[in-house]
Amino acid sequence: MAFTFKGGVHPREWKLTERSPIAKLPASAHLEVPLQQHIGAPAAALVQKGEGVKLGQVIADNANALCCPVHAPVSGTITGITTRMDASGRMIEYIGIDNDFADTLSETVLPHTRPILETSAEEIIARIRAAGISGMGGAGFPAYAKLSSAIESGVDKLIVNACECEPYLTADHRLLLEHPDAVVGGIQILMRALDLADATIAIEDNKRDAAILLRSVIQNDLIRVHLLQTKYPQGDERQIVFAVTGRQIPAGKLPKDAGCVIFNAATCAAIYDAFVTGLPLVSRIVTVSGDCVKKPSNVRVPIGTAFKDVIEFCGGYSAEPDKLIAGGPMMGVCQWDDNAVVTKTTSGILALSKVPHREADVCVHCGKCALACPMYLEPLYLAAYARIGQYERCKDFDVFSCVECGSCAHVCPGGVPLVQYIRTAKVKLKELAAAKK
Ligand code: SF4
Ligand code: SF4
């Protein structure tokens, strides 16, 4: 039987690209590499305009803070450092690189040569940091910091998140089908660092082909493949921990407080690559999909490539999209245009036509949002109080426990933009707290 959690929704899957093998996008003539693609402090540029760089060379870092270094995804020449809006609306710095198409590899790109069982946890953490790996499934938390904190907390469960529960997205599914050895190799490195004898890969039961393949690659009982029900947001850390272990993460706490650490499947593969080839995180697999894309595909894309170049590679637009989304349709972020660039956390680029109109912003008190909420919240009250500016009341209704999964808005027959109200309440409460300080 497949395991799951309470609440959640069953949006139509739209996995148009699950049978599309991963294509490789040739690097563009110019890339804009963001200096903040992770949670924590932005990296500071280590290169200047006019300087030559090699593929895999560190071009930005901040060693004194929670930060992931940033590497050149191509060899070429630095064209400058500019500040502009990123895909999530923050103003951040970018390093521009003109590609010389020589792919000259940096001398720092070297594989790890000793057996992993003779490698210490400190060495593993250092290599993961040097490779600039941050979580590739969503928030982008630096992987070295997560691993180090999990070791300090003595977690006893390593869970690999292969759920990919957002509609449309199939990048992780294709990774599991085409490179299961890389995912398993990354898990073995993490098990060594955590000093754990076993691990669990959690995967939704709509990816049985990948589960079967993984079991055939693993061939032992130390890494288990755990089938979970296909339900959104199964990949959320609270839901996955509960479904796999039966443990609940206390409100405001992290998986480590329930003895667990979770790494995304793509992050595991990036860790494996950093050890086996020495290549830092300079590209990722992106699902390009939606009814306004001519050839929906899964594509390996160099970090810093403009969305428009990726869409062009997929045949261009078949119609003008009403919405261009970075990520999945439930938690992704709508874009102003296709000038945004692919980062370490860009799991998808969706170009969608207009959805049929629903009555906008009218609550009919049906209670469906509360039934769908996996965090046991009452979204209708959060929205109602946020709408009239009573943000303190939102706090009473535990607004900060909302993981912004969008399940409530998905089921709402009144078209209430619940997540927008909730995000506004969170921002306002943080501003009020800062002003009080
Ligand atoms: S689902 Fe929408 S209409 Fe129903 S109670 Fe919640 S906010 Fe109101
Ligand atoms: S209130 Fe938050 S956690 Fe609950 S369903 Fe809505 S977005 Fe998800």
Q: Model confidence over 341-356: pLDDT tens digits?
A: 999 999 999 999 987 6
Q: What tens digit of pLDDT does each residue of 104-115 get? A: 999 999 999 999
The answer for 139, left when phi > 0, alpha when psi is -120 to 50, beta otherwise, is alpha
Higher pLDDT, 371 or 86: 371
Residue closest by Cα to atom 4 of ligand 2? 373
Residue 393 in tokens: 């009341």
CA distance 390 to 400: 15
136 and 273 Cβ atoms separated by less than 8 Å: no
Q: What tens digit of pLDDT does each residue of 184-235 get? A: 999 999 999 999 999 999 999 999 999 999 999 998 889 999 999 999 999 9
Residue 82's alpha-carbon distances to 34, 76, 88, in angstroms, are 10, 17, 17
| pLDDT range class, residue 436, cuts 50, 70, 90 | confident
Residue 390's alpha-carbon distances to 157, 383, 428, in angstroms, are 41, 10, 10
Ligand 1: does its nearest atom lie under 6 Å from the Cβ of 367?
yes
Q: What is the pLDDT of residue 387?
A: 95
Residue 307 in tokens: 């969305």
311 and 351 Cβ atoms separated by less than 8 Å: yes
264 and 39 Cβ atoms separated by less than 8 Å: no
Residue closest by Cα to atom 6 of ligand 2? 408
How much distance in Å is there from the Cα of 316 to the middle of ligand 2? 34
Distance of CA 71 to the CA centre of its chain: 19
User: What mean pLDDT is reported for the chain?
Assistant: 95
How much distance in Å is there from the Cα of 402 to the middle of ligand 2? 5
Nearest ligand, CA 423? 2
Residue 360, judged by CB atoms within 10 A of its CB (0-12, 13-18, 19+), counts as exposed
Residue closest by Cα to atom 3 of ligand 2? 402
Which part of the chain is CATH 3.40.50.11540?
116-276
Give me the CATH code for the 116-276 domain, please: 3.40.50.11540
Ligand 1: does its nearest atom lie under 6 Å from the Cβ of 372?
no
Residue 184 in tokens: 């398993």
How much distance in Å is there from the Cα of 412 to the middle of ligand 1? 5
214 and 176 Cβ atoms separated by less than 8 Å: yes
CA distance 345 to 239: 20
How much distance in Å is there from the Cα of 326 to the middle of ligand 1? 27
pTM for this model (two decimals): 0.94
CA distance 51 to 3: 53
Ligand 1: does its nearest atom lie under 6 Å from the Cβ of 413?
yes
